[in-house]
């Protein structure tokens, strides 16, 4: 059986398969921050502030004006999974919830019937650079769950299961199991209304680091699932007698083991897999529904309610510099790390 279905270069955003909608990888080498955890004015010249996706000097402002990131914006009908590998992300939303998460942490948010949130990247270091590396993944919701109540949870670095695999030569592969099951290791629970909450849907989100010259086999999952391997950093790998360079998407069959042999530098992957929802998808900006009529209804509802409004004083909300990792939920419960 042919194990590789397609190989293609990574674009921006990354191409995904049902049940996933979208994946953006952000790597930014931010400079030292100013007193307000933003970028000095002199460094903002020649940028399209408010719409800066140009990788000038190794970093972007995105939609931020003085602090990089994504000021408040609405969502409906799907989920966001934000994986932080390096740097700081500050969350605030229209339910009054907030949080700060750092390297190794993951935020899982169900937008459901509608929420506004902001995701800002405060430059908390004034005396050294502030590198950032995150993935943001959009996971679709089935029609029965598109109008559930919004919800978010944190998967803290210390709690996320990690698999350490050594091959016959003692070379190490490290897999963070963010969603799903890998061999005998099962992830933390997803949000309750997620497509991933039912194990029968075989949703998995894995981040993988392979040492130079390591070998590792991605175990098969259920027949009918979609599987995408994003090889975003390294030199080359070998799968099924194919040599593949970095910055490529490899779509493979799901019900076969996939043996990966790494080249002579460390290799990094994001792996997304799961059974497709298989329903019509209607998308318009931050709204993902099943029909265009539902999109029009989402726009009308947002115009009327602003999905609860914006309870914060700023559009680019960041938390105090000295504040550590935390999650403040809409019911007032606060987790700290």
pLDDT digits (tens, 9 = 90+) for 194-211: 999 999 999 999 999 999
CB 251 within 8 A of CB 228: yes
| Residue 1 in this model has a pLDDT that exceeds 90 | no
Q: Could you tell me the pTM of the whole model?
A: 0.97
163 contacts 183 by C-beta, under 8 angstroms: yes
SS (H, E, C) 124-161: CCCCCCEEEEEEEEEEECCHHHCCCCCEEEEECCCCCC
**What Cα–Cα distance (Å) separates residue 144 from each residue in 77, 141, 148, 193, 268?**
10, 8, 8, 10, 35
Q: What is the pLDDT of residues 269-302, one digit of tens each?
A: 999 999 999 999 999 999 999 999 999 999 999 9
SS3 label, residue 7: strand
Q: Answer for the pair 209, 171: CB distance below 8 angstroms, yes or no.
A: no
CA distance linking residue 259 with residue 223, whole number of Å:
18
Q: Report the pLDDT averaged over residues 256-262.
A: 98
pLDDT of residue 238: 98
Q: Which phi-psi region, left, alpha or beta, contains residue 11 (left: φ > 0; alpha: ψ -120 to 50)?
A: beta
Instruction: Please report which confidence band the pLDDT of residue 7 belongs to, taking 50, 70 and 90 as the band edges.
Output: very high
- Gyration radius from the chain CA atoms: 20
Q: Inform me whether the pLDDT recorded for 143 exceeds 90.
A: yes
Q: Please report the pLDDT score of residue 15 as a whole number.
A: 97
67-116: pLDDT as tens digits? 999 999 999 999 999 999 999 999 999 999 999 999 999 999 999 999 99
Q: pLDDT digit string (tens) for 298-324?
A: 999 999 999 999 999 999 999 999 999
Structure confidence at residue 131 (pLDDT): 98
Q: What is the pLDDT of residue 67?
A: 97
Q: Kindly indicate the confidence band of residue 188, based on its pLDDT and cuts at 50, 70 and 90.
A: very high
pLDDT at 40: 95
Confidence check: pLDDT of 174 > 80: yes
pLDDT confidence of residue 98 = 97
Contact 12, 232 (CB under 8 A): no
CB 225 within 8 A of CB 196: no
């Amino acid at each position: 059986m042919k194990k590789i279905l397609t190989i293609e270069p990574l674009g921006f955003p990354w191409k995904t398969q049902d049940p996933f909608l979208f994946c953006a990888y952000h790597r930014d080498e931010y400079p030292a921050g100013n007193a307000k955890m933003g970028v000095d004015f002199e460094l903002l010249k020649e940028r399209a502030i408010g719409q800066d996706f140009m990788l000038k000097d190794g970093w972007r402002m995105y939609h931020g004006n003085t602090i990089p990131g994504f000021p408040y914006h609405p969502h409906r009908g799907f989920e966001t999974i934000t994986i932080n590998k390096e740097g700081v992300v500050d969350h605030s939303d229209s339910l009054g919830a907030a949080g700060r998460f750092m390297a190794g942490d993951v935020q899982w948010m169900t937008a459901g019937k509608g929420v506004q949130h902001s995701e800002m990247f405060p430059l908390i270091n004034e005396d050294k650079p502030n590198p950032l590396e995150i993935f943001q993944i959009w996971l679709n919701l089935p029609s029965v769950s598109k109008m559930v109540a919004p919800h978010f949870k944190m998967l803290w670095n210390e709690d996320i299961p990690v698999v350490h695999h050594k091959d016959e030569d003692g070379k190490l592969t490290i897999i963070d199991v963010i969603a799903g099951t890998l061999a005998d290791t099962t992830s933390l629970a997803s949000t309750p209304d997620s497509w991933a909450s039912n194990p029968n849907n075989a949703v998995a989100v894995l981040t993988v680091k392979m040492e130079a010259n390591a070998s590792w086999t991605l175990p098969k999952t259920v027949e009918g699932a979609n599987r995408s391997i994003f090889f975003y950093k390294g030199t080359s790998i070998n799968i099924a007698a194919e040599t593949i360079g970095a910055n490529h998407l490899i779509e493979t069959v799901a019900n076969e083991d996939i043996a990966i042999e790494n080249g002579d530098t460390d290799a990094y992957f994001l792996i997304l897999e799961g059974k497709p929802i298989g329903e019509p998808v209607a998308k318009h900006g931050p709204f993902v529904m099943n029909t265009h009529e539902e999109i029009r209804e989402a726009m009308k509802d947002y115009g009327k309610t602003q999905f609860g409004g914006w309870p914060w004083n700023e559009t680019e909300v960041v938390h105090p510099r000295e504040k550590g990792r935390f999650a403040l939920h809409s019911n007032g419960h606060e987790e700290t790390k």
